[in-house]
Structure 1
């Protein structure tokens, strides 16, 4: 149970930080929120990225099959990561409205 709570907190913080840095550098507030589903597929599928280009039919079917097999605990952890990207977008917008030009 402790690992579950720590995993949720860790995914939230990691993806908040990644999204914050990406938003700060590229000035695209919601870019990480759109990229996050692809990151989730890369985490869940256990398939090489090259396989999507060399054998797309079996790679996509295997990826969606594994995505359908994830548990509620995995969904909670991955959902915390997505929540981190969303919160990061709101923080960046708030900082920009507050006058911080670098954001």
Structure 2
């Protein structure tokens, strides 16, 4: 099923804002600048994959091969949406570094 362009653009914006906000809040609470950029790939795999998280440890060969198959079959729109979420996580880290450099110690 194809995705309409307005739906894709709104989804990309929502993922960017969602993960920017989550990353910003985590950075304020944990004071770890790149925490969301490190955690985001795990979250993205949980969103994309149909395999239970525990199966990556109990049956890694089958789980990772299925993950590779699913990632290779993603549509361009899906990849763009997932990458925009990662961009939001990275931009939240950059924002926190800039705010800390400008003297905002609460961040």
TM-score, structure 1 length as denominator? 0.91
2:20 equivalent among 12, 16, 20: 16
Give ranges in structure 2 of 5+ residues lacking alignment: none
Query: Residue in 1 aligned with 2:95?
Result: 91
What RMSD over aligned residues (CA atoms) do the two structures have, in Å?
Answer: 1.2
Residues 50-89 of structure 1: matches in 2 within 5 Å?
Answer: 50-89=54-93
Q: Report deviation, 1:19.
A: 0.8
Contact 1:41–1:67 at 8 Å: present in 2 too?
no
TM-score, structure 2 length as denominator? 0.88
Runs of 4 or more, structure 1, over 2 Å off, are none
Count of equivalent residues: 103
Q: Report deviation, 1:54.
A: 2.3
Query: Residue in 1 aligned with 2:47?
Result: 43
Query: Residue in 2 aligned with 1:31?
Result: 35
